[in-house]
């Protein structure tokens, strides 16, 4: 296996990526998202496109940002970042279920094929089994973080005798029913055109302003919604003229990713806007024939309460055998020992 490195803006990049993503169901790895991301980044932060080939056939690809980082003010590293830039401002997009597009490639094959002018390969938010056993000969693999990613199996929702409520725990069912009694009749809006989608997004930003405080981040999403509103699913739940909450999801190839929400505040503790809004969106996705409603990573307890299953994501660092990394590990161990 060999790796060809291209400028991500080269004319071949789009057709190559599209050909490889025929089985991809993750919007973050779709060409619409990738193309918008590349066009939104400053050229100084543009990643490189790595095409993995078996002979002459392209079998997988990924975009790699390259950045020199210094950890703890003393440990330098030439780092490559999979489908990220390495700059926290631009990586606040926080994509999940990251990985290569195309065939599943062993981590050892990826590492062996990349050019040698790197010290670390950073793999953020990848599925736990994205590369099989995450071990490659001659390198060190660190798991910096692992997080649960709750989801709803929408086929189970359709098959359940009691509908979605029948799949939930007794306490969650009771909370939902009580909230719906307090709120009364609900209406659920799904944006039907770009103006409608941007109207819901504007209210979501008002409800959750901190999430879109960076002008670049907000502009990225406004432009994406305007161009791809069918894949960017904007949902608003109301009782009468009062908004309960707004959801910003990605709906792609029967998989829904819950990216951001803006929820109204209520004095009545029996009103659970997150439960109410997501339950409504889940019912809509199930009726539409989607397969999965993915909450993505997050601390909201409602995700565990509403989910029917859980996957796991990992944040990995693959390191070349460098003395400075061994010293860093030893110092980290000493620090943890002192803390204990």
Tokens representing 315 are: 């944040």
Mean pLDDT of 246-274: 96
- By mean pLDDT, which of 38-42, 113-117, 327-331 is the weakest? 327-331
The residues that bridge with 132 in the sheet, in sequence order, are 130
Considering the chain, what percentage of its residues have pLDDT values greater than 90?
78
For the ranges 39-48, 70-79, 203-212, the lowest mean pLDDT is seen at 70-79
**Is 137's pLDDT higher than 80?**
no
Q: What is the pLDDT of residues 272-309, one digit of tens each?
A: 999 999 999 999 999 999 999 999 998 889 999 999 99
Q: Are 242 and 222 a contacting pair, CB within 8 Å?
A: no
Instruction: Output the pTM of the full model.
Output: 0.93
**Beta carbons within 10 angstroms of residue 63's beta carbon:** 23
Answer whether 209's CB lies under 8 Å from 202's CB: no
Length of the chain: 340
Q: Does 245 score more than 60 pLDDT? A: yes
* pLDDT average, residue stretch 106-111: 88
pLDDT tens-digit map of 42-57: 999 999 999 999 999 9
Q: Which neighbouring-strand residues pair with 66?
A: 80
117 confidence band (pLDDT: 50, 70, 90): confident
């Amino acid at each position: 296996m060999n790796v060809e490195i291209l400028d991500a803006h080269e004319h071949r990049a789009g057709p190559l990526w599209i050909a490889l993503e025929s089985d991809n169901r993750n919007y973050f790895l779709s060409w619409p998202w990738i193309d918008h991301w590349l066009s939104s980044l400053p050229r100084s932060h543009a990643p490189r496109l790595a095409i993995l080939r078996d002979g002459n056939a392209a079998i997988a690809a990924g975009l790699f940002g390259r950045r020199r980082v210094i950890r703890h003010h003393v440990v330098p590293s030439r780092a490559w970042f999979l489908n990220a830039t390495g700059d926290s401002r631009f990586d606040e997009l926080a994509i999940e279920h990251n990985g290569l597009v195309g065939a599943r490639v062993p981590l050892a094959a990826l590492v062996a094929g990349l050019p040698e002018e790197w010290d670390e390969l950073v793999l953020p938010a990848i599925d736990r089994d994205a590369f099989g056993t995450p071990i490659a000969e001659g390198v060190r693999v660190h798991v910096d973080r692992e997080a649960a990613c709750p989801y709803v199996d929408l086929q189970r929702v359709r098959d359940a005798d009691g509908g979605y409520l029948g799949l939930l725990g007794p306490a969650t069912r009771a909370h939902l029913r009580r909230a719906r009694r307090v709120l009364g009749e609900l209406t659920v809006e799904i944006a039907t055109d770009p103006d409608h989608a941007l109207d819901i997004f504007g209210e979501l930003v008002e409800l959750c302003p901190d999430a879109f405080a960076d002008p670049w981040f907000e502009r990225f999403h406004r432009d994406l919604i305007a161009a791809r509103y069918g894949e960017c699913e904007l949902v608003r739940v109301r009782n009468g003229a009062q908004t309960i909450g707004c959801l910003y999801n990605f709906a792609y190839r029967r998989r829904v990713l819950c990216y951001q929400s803006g929820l109204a505040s209520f004095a009545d503790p029996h009103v659970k806007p997150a439960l109410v809004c997501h339950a409504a969106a889940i019912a809509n996705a199930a009726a539409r024939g989607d397969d999965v409603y993915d909450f993505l990573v997050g601390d909201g307890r409602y995700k565990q309460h509403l989910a029917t299953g859980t996957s796991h994501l990992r944040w990995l660092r693959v390191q070349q055998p460098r003395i400075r990394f061994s010293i860093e590990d030893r110092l980290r161990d000493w620090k943890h020992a002192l803390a204990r």
